[in-house]
A = this chain, B = another copy of it.
């Protein structure tokens, strides 16, 4: 079935940080977590809510997957890396922001980038017109309060800003007080951008990777003590309020029906204490292959295009947003490289009952950990809690996620037929890795897959 293609909408994409499946009210958290989330719950009710939306193992890999449509094993953006060490995606990658910007969108990134922290790799080098936020991640805000911290060794973290074509600049140190304020700043700038662009004669793409609930999970002073349940709950209430502010600002422009609003999380809940989150009925946290790492809260609202009140348990993956949002913006994903994402436009717009996807492979760094297919997940490496010690399984474990959401009962013997499609899927993926060798982690700017390192990149970096 073909979907009548509406004219390219504005896109606002709010990506929460380390927000587990079980936190929001509409996912069974909310009041139970001491933090009602009425604004996000309402957003879900006005559009589609995913109960089986899947991501990569943590911040960097998921952001790489979102921006490239490719599993991070391909891009080399495998993990969070300290400042000054090689990190992020090489300029040869074509970002979602580039695809969308080429369609004439105004684009901005307000928030945490984490895909490269030096000139040539900032958001404004990779398809966004403007950026305000942090190049890496929020735990760096603890540096200046850490006894013995030496900024001559580990550089001071900064909130930064940039415009395309201009050098990025430091705004102020990202310390604990700045960490409390950052989401307010991002919200304010997002709203200013929406208001500004609502008067422009072109669609806009606002990518808003906010910093809550990443540790240290400290709320803005305006929200401190709000819930009586501690910093974590206060921060969640703040997050809900920030989302509400953005929704209100959008709706006030009258552009709601011409805007696809996306809200979701980059990965499963934090495992570190005292900021440990919850994946609700699932087991595990990010940095594992448990279902609590794979599934995250995700929702989309687009009045008149996405039917309200829809809840789907179909498998969708963060890599799918690359071809899907590209298509919605009128663009196409590149065809000169493996793209793992599948176009879910017809599924989203209700023209197709089922997801384009039945399963996916799941790596942590360079190691295949598990693969999920329909109701089942096979673990080839078992590590239910980060740092528990990865067990490489002689006999892989197979779980039925409907019957056994906590992954406690191996059904590998009774359902051994399931190994066939899962092994087939893994084999097919690994074949593509042979045909298109992965980009090494920390590859230089001029790295081009299939070429010698001496070959210069193809100019994508400056293209927009």
Contact = CB atoms under 8 A, between A and B. Distances in A.
A401 to B, nearest CB: 9
A46 to B, nearest CB: 18
B34 A402 contact: yes
Contacts of A51: 31-32
A255 interface: no
Given A32-B281, A278-B405, 18 more contacts: A22-B405, A27-B28, A28-B280, A28-B281, A31-B51, A31-B311, A33-B403, A34-B375, A34-B402, A229-B375, A229-B402, A232-B403, A233-B402, A276-B408, A276-B409, A278-B281, A278-B406, A280-B280
A409 B285 CA distance: 14
A313 interface: yes
Instruction: Kindly report how many copies of this chain are found in the complex they form together.
Output: 2
A270 to B, nearest CB: 12
A433 B33 CA distance: 35
A404 interface: yes
Contacts of A88: none
Interface string A245-281: 0000000000000000000000000000110101011
Contacts of A405: 22, 32-33, 278
A282 B32 CA distance: 11
A302 B374 CA distance: 41
Contact of A402 (B32, B375, B409): B32
Interface in A326-343: none
A409 to B, nearest CB: 5
A29 interface: yes
A86 interface: no
Given A22-B281, A409-B274, A233 B28 contact: no
Nearest to A231: B403
A273 B33 CA distance: 30
A230 interface: yes
A299 to B, nearest CB: 16
Given A229-B403, A402-B233, A313 B31 contact: yes
A29 B230 CA distance: 28
A313 to B, nearest CB: 5
